[in-house]
């Protein structure tokens, strides 16, 4: 019995005792989940009757988690097949009698009047939910989930029985075929469970895919939105699984390597390898990572920034490593990176040069792997270069106001809250809020301290000593700030439905040592304020990172989205959606204990552990590749090749 929604309904505090009693009695009904979502009236969900409203994937996922349904199977990263996910659920929702009781209680500022136990089940009406969606792997930019889009106009769909979720009597997987109209002009076609369909669209854009199936009680209908875009990344020449032979905490993590041979390489073997690790949280599609290194950003494409293609033009084989467990500890993924390096070593021999690269968290994974190899004498071949792109070598930043809001309103949108709970997120975030109400907590958590201490204990300052080390920062060369500390970020107010009354005000972190009680956000529920207050241990020398120079992200806008899961922005306004995600000093590996707003990369060349680095003339989206960065990296590889030839000639 799932009653999570009843737990978390946003209600006036005077209702709490009565709703606790409601929950306890509802648990005894034993007829499926209880769903209470005020913004949907009386818990009305798509029920499969008539013409179905088309859901997008994020909306389907939100309904899936609110009903407390089991998780979907992991995405198969080796093949670009799109499973069709379906749920068919019997659940109970508040009836009109309960709605009227809630409204009377609000009007009279009183507790809800409960009926006798014998009449309790009359408060909840039995209902059916039936909905479908594509199950694309989530794509992220740091902590930001990007729109769900399929890269290409030819799509292989699979009517996957593993993605059919049933709950309640009469909801089992139907044995017969399903009729699906893929909105490609071909009309409905019949597919059995487990079948695949190759669909070709004439142009990029949003498609409305309709699905209908017959059950013993009648026909069920569903529809979902599916967006396709022109493919940009070429297909990989080879795809293969990778499983770490070395365990982390008794677990052998895995992933997938995607090999893109140099354009002139017809040998079928790697010859001049570059191993590129994806970033946070893991589990992306390789073509998406390829596009990022060819200039794709959340704001569009940077012209003439095709680093991936031009490295292949220069004769390099690009191996993109995708990690199989999103959110896994950095050490676990580093063991996968080591395994990929050993495969490359076996391909090219012990003397051929190997370049290790990583974007964002991927750079930290590569750094840890190389340090581990040196410390433990692991043979990974001749790794001569390590290049990282806006990697959090000292830590990453998500505004504490955003973290508080994600924790407080987790029941409205789990995604950001879940990302903050990933093991690798806790290892990288320099300041964290876990939201234990009325409990004083430090903002620098043990997970962060322990990981970076472990890294530094392996090698001097925590960096490998054998390869040349290079870093790219997306933070302003002269330290130009993004936003001012303690400035307003976001205000949201919403009053709708039976009891969905809430308000939130967010500010960027003040640039001073916090007091024992320090406000980052006011979050109210119902008609009475319930203020979130940070109970922090005072910390001398505390400084904000929210607006300092660095690769930026859009975390404030994601907080807004969490408060608006139905797409409609409620009353309020947002000052800016941008904040610093990876400070420039962190991307360059400088241990900066002072005011982060005073750090200027141009003035600290002697303090970085890297042999050379690049910072742009303006703050950029995190992990941006533009024309200047592309040319710097290509020049780096050319310069390294020239130095190697000179050294070999001298010998």
What tens digit of pLDDT does each residue of 286-297 get? Answer: 989 999 999 998
Question: Is it true that the peptide bond before 393 is cis, omega within 30 degrees of 0?
Answer: no
Same domain (yes/no): 247, 149 = no
CA distances for 3 relative to 8, 133, 248, 460, 621, angstroms: 9, 24, 36, 52, 40
Residue 312 lies in a domain: yes
Q: How far apart are CA 605 and CA 608, in angstroms?
A: 6
Domain final residue, candidates 229, 254, 283? 229
Smallest CA-to-CA distance from 553 within 623, 503, 501, 489 is with 623
Q: Are 178 and 213 in contact (CB under 8 A)?
A: yes
Same domain (yes/no): 276, 381 = yes
Please report the pLDDT score of residue 114 as a whole number.
62
Residue 378 lies in a domain: yes
CATH number of the CATH domain containing 346? 3.40.50.1820
Same domain (yes/no): 13, 156 = yes
Same domain (yes/no): 223, 75 = yes
Residue 249, both tokens: 């905490």
Q: How do strand 54-55 and strand 218-229 relate by DSSP bridges?
A: parallel
Same domain (yes/no): 571, 432 = yes
Same domain (yes/no): 191, 256 = no
Domain final residue, candidates 532, 563, 582? 582
Same domain (yes/no): 338, 404 = no
Q: How far apart are CA 427 and CA 395, in angstroms?
A: 8
Residue 395 lies in a domain: no
Same domain (yes/no): 211, 276 = no
Query: Rounded to two decimals, what is the model's pTM?
Result: 0.88
Backbone angles phi, psi at 490, to 5 degrees: -155, 140
Average pLDDT, rounded, for the chain: 83
Same domain (yes/no): 351, 415 = no
Q: How far apart are CA 497 and CA 494, in angstroms?
A: 10
Number of independent structural domains in the chain: 3
Could you tell me the sign of the dihedral formed by the alpha carbons of 229, 231, 232, 238, in that order? positive
Domain final residue, candidates 208, 229, 250? 229
Residue 538 lies in a domain: yes
Residue 598 lies in a domain: no
Q: How far apart are CA 287 and CA 579, in angstroms?
A: 27
- Report, in this order, helix, strand and coil percent for the chain, each rounded to 5: 30, 30, 45
> For 222, what's the count of Cα atoms within 13 Å in the CB-facing half-sphere?
26
Residue 271 lies in a domain: yes
Please report the pLDDT score of residue 449 as a whole number.
95
* 12: confidence class by pLDDT, cuts 50, 70, 90: very low
Neighbour tally for 264: CB within 10 Å: 11
Residue span of the structural domain in which 442 resides: 400-447+481-582
User: Percentage of the chain surpassing pLDDT 90?
Assistant: 49
- Residue 553 scores a pLDDT above 70: yes
Q: What is the pLDDT of residues 407-438, one digit of tens each?
A: 877 766 667 888 999 999 999 999 988 766 55
Same domain (yes/no): 322, 408 = no
Q: How far apart are CA 308 and CA 408, in angstroms?
A: 41
Please report the pLDDT score of residue 385 as a whole number.
96
Q: How far apart are CA 152 and CA 362, in angstroms?
A: 26
* 528: confidence class by pLDDT, cuts 50, 70, 90: very low
Q: How far apart are CA 420 and CA 426, in angstroms?
A: 7
Residue 541 lies in a domain: yes
CATH number of the CATH domain containing 38? 2.60.40.10
Please report the pLDDT score of residue 71 as a whole number.
85
* 58: confidence class by pLDDT, cuts 50, 70, 90: confident
Q: What average pLDDT score do residues 612-628 get?
A: 96
**Helix H or strand E segment including 649:** helix 627-650
Residue 439 lies in a domain: yes
Same domain (yes/no): 249, 172 = no
Q: Are 442 and 539 in contact (CB under 8 A)?
A: yes
- Residue 182 scores a pLDDT above 60: yes
* 452: confidence class by pLDDT, cuts 50, 70, 90: very high
| More confident: 54 or 290 | 290
CA distances for 488 relative to 390, 525, 577, angstroms: 27, 20, 11
Same domain (yes/no): 71, 203 = yes
């Amino acid at each position: 019995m799932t009653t999570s929604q009843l737990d978390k309904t946003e209600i006036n505090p005077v209702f709490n005792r009565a709703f606790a009693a409601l929950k306890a009695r509802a648990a005894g009904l034993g007829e499926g989940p209880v769903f209470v979502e005020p913004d949907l009236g009386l818990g009305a969900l798509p029920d499969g009757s008539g013409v179905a409203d088309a859901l997008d994937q994020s909306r389907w996922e939100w309904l899936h988690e609110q009903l407390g349904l089991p998780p979907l199977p992991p995405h198969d990263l080796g093949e670009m097949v799109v499973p069709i996910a379906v749920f068919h659920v019997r659940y109970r929702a508040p009836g009109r009698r309960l709605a009227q009781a809630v409204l009377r209680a609000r009007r009279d500022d009183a507790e809800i009047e409960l009926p006798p136990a014998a009449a309790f089940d009359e408060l909840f009406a039995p209902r059916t939910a039936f909905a479908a969606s594509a199950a694309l792997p989530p794509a992220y930019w740091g902590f930001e989930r990007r729109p769900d889009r399929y890269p290409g106009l030819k799509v292989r769909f699979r009517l996957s029985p593993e993605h059919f979720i049933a709950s309640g009597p009469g909801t089992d997987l139907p044995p017969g075929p399903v009729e699906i109209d893929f909105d490609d002009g071909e009309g409905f076609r019949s597919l059995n469970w487990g079948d695949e369909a190759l669909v070709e669209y004439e142009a990029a854009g949003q498609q409305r895919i309709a699905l209908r199936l017959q059950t013993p009680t009648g026909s069920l209908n569903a529809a979902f939105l599916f967006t396709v875009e022109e493919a940009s990344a070429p297909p990989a020449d080879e795809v293969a699984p990778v499983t770490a032979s070395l365990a982390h905490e008794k677990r052998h993590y895995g992933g997938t390597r995607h090999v893109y041979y140099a354009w002139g390489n017809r040998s079928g073997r790697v010859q001049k390898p570059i191993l590129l690790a994806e970033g946070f949280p893991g589990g992306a599609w390789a073509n998406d990572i390829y596009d990022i290194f060819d200039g794709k950003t959340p704001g569009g494409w940077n012209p003439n920034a095709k680093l991936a293609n031009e490295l292949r033009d220069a004769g390099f084989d690009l191996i993109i490593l995708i990690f199989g467990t999103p959110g896994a500890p950095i050490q676990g993924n580093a063991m996968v990176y080591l395994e990929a390096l050993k495969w490359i070593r076996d391909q090219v021999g012990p003397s051929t040069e190997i370049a290790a690269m990583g974007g964002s968290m991927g750079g930290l994974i590569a750094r840890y792997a190389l340090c581990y190899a040196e410390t433990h004498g692991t043979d990974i071949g001749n790794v001569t270069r390590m290049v990282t792109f806006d990697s959090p070598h000292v830590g990453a930043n998500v505004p504490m106001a955003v973290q508080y809001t994600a924790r407080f309103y987790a029941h409205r949108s789990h995604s950001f809250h879940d990302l903050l709970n990933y093991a690798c997120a806790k290892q990288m975030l320099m300041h964290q809020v876990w939201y234990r109400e009325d409990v004083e907590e430090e903002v620098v958590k043990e997970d962060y301290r322990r990981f970076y201490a472990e890294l530094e204990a392996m090698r001097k300052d925590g960096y490998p000593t054998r390869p040349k080390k290079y870093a790219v920062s997306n933070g302003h060369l002269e330290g130009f700030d993004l936003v001012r500390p303690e400035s307003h970020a976001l205000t949201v107010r919403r009053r709708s439905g039976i009891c969905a009354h809430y308000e939130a005000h967010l500010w960027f972190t003040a640039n001073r040592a916090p007091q024992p009680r320090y406000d980052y956000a006011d979050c109210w529920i119902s008609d009475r304020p319930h203020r979130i207050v940070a109970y922090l241990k005072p910390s001398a020398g505390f400084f904000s990172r929210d607006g300092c120079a660095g690769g930026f992200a859009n975390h404030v806008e994601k907080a807004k989205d969490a408060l608006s899961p139905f797409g409609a922005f409620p009353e309020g306004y947002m000052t800016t959606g941008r904040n610093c995600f990876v400070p420039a000093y962190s991307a360059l590996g400088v241990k900066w204990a002072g005011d982060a707003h005073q750090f200027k990369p141009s003035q600290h060349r002697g303090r970085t552990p890297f042999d050379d680095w690049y910072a742009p003339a303006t703050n950029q989206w995190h992990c941006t590749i533009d024309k200047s960065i592309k040319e710097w990296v290509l020049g780096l590889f050319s310069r390294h090749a020239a130095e190697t030839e000179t050294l070999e000639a001298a010998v």
